[in-house]
Amino acid sequence: MNGRRDFFRLALAGGAVAAGAAASPSVQARGNAEISPDAIGLLFDSTLCIGCKACVAACKEANDLPLDYNTPTHGLWDMPLDTTARTFNVIKAWQSGTGMNRGQEEDGYAFMKVSCLHCVDPSCVSACPVSAMTKDPVTGIVQYDADACIGCRYCVAACPFGIPKYDYDSPTGQIGKCELCRHLLPEGKYAACAEVCPTGATLFGKVSSLKAEAHRRLALEEGAATVWPRGNLDTADQPAWEGPAPRYVQHVYGEKEVGGTQMFKLSAVAFDKLGHKPLPERSFSSQSETLQHTLYGGLVLPLAVLGVMSWVAKRNVKHDDEIHDDPMHDTQDGGKRHE
């Protein structure tokens, strides 16, 4: 009974220490990360997408990606069903009933772009133990360093959007994901998917400009004539076109999800039907890092665990006098005690 009381006393003491650390002003809950004022990103408008997949081909070419056969017509056509380590961008189609009505949930259809959303507070960066995943402090691009990667795949498990993919066919086991064509930025170019989009369904620009454009569209009256920019929103490098406004779902997906992203999405069909589940506004990385700092701040958790382990070890180790008095103790004469 004394041993049991000692154990509970020790456990309560450890809990009190952990609680004290959590209440200590040195351990603060971390909020969502702040976005850079110069952050860049994309705006995808599902109502403008025609499913041509020019963006998919352009992404392949810009990033020098190999063919990726993972469809039923294996070996005949490079048309992946989802993003992979060799395909950073895909267009998925959704259909209901007869699929005759564009942008409608009843007997309708719609398209959705799937690629990295470049979270403001990315879980993949927080989870990576070797900083192979990093976030550019100016552009906000979530970028990947293959030379630093150890192939642990923590980023794959951490991403709420399922974007980083592991290349099991690679001898070095690399990760593949969209990096917003950051290698083209020094040349004055921008994301290839936005550059080739014929309707402006994928639009490039500063996040602040894209957010304003997204809310402008949501405020439009259905059927009202409006101008649709193409290419780079901030430079107007491509001619815009005029057309009627659709009936939008009144939500900018990516504006607040998991602390916000640098890719916004608009749709006339509910986002959950297009594969985008509801997510909390607080980032997962802020929650996990707050928990880690609370438990490990001041070595609280390691000390508590060490205390419990020491108690268990001490309880199970017998002293020499206890061993000699033990009738079950084996001796060198075959297990019989000396008289």
pLDDT score, position 300: 54
318-327 mean pLDDT? 57
Question: Which pLDDT score, from 0 to 100, does residue 77 have?
Answer: 75
DSSP assignment of 86-106 equals TB--EEEEEE-TT--EET-SS
Confidence of residue 294 (pLDDT cuts 50, 70, 90): low
Instruction: Kindly report the CATH number that applies to the domain delimited by 40-280.
Output: 3.30.70.20
Q: In this predicted structure, what is the pLDDT of residue 80?
A: 84
What pLDDT does 20 receive? 47
- 158, 127 contact by CB (below 8 A): yes
pLDDT of residue 339: 43
Residues 121 and 291: their CA atoms lie apart, in Å, by 16
Instruction: Provide mean pLDDT across the span 221-242.
Output: 97
| Alpha-carbon span 123 to 304, nearest angstrom | 28
Q: How many C-beta atoms surround the C-beta of residue 229 within 10 A? A: 19
**Which residue, among 318, 317, 338, 319, has the nearest Cα to 327 in the 3D structure?**
338
For residue 7, name the pLDDT band (cuts at 50, 70, 90). very low
pLDDT number for residue 52: 96
Domain ranges of the chain: 40-280
Predicted confidence (pLDDT) per residue in 56-70, tens digit? 999 999 999 998 877
3-state DSSP helix/strand/coil % of the chain, to nearest 5: 35, 15, 50
- 292 falls in which pLDDT band (50, 70, 90)? low
How much is the pLDDT for 317? 66
pLDDT reading at 26 higher than 60: no
Round the average pLDDT of the chain to a whole number and report it: 85
pTM reported for the whole predicted model: 0.79
Give the pLDDT confidence of 156-177 residue by residue, as tens digits: 999 999 999 999 988 888 999 9
The model's confidence at residue 184, banded by pLDDT at 50, 70 and 90, is very high
Give the whole-number percent of the chain exceeding pLDDT 70. Answer: 76
Q: Are strands 90-95 and 165-166 parallel, antiparallel or unpaired?
A: unpaired
For residues 22 and 19, give the distance between their C-alpha atoms in angstroms, rounded to a whole number: 5
Q: Which helix (H) or strand (E) holds 215?
A: helix 207-218
Is it the case that residue 25 has pLDDT exceeding 90?
no
Q: Looking at per-residue confidence, does 91 or 25 come out higher?
A: 91
Which of 263, 267, 272 is CA-nearest to residue 249?
267
pLDDT of res. 135: 98
pLDDT at 313: 73
Say if residue 15's pLDDT is above 90. no
How far, in whole angstroms, is CA 170 from its chain's centroid?
22
pLDDT above 80 for 306: no
Q: What pLDDT, on the 0 to 100 scale, is given for residue 10?
A: 43
Mean pLDDT, range 306-319, rounded to an integer: 68
Residue-wise pLDDT for 126-143, tens only, equals: 999 999 999 999 999 999
pLDDT of residue 320: 56
pLDDT tens string 235-253? 999 999 999 999 999 999 9
pLDDT band at 74 (very low <50, low <70, confident <90, very high): low
pLDDT of 22 higher than 50: no
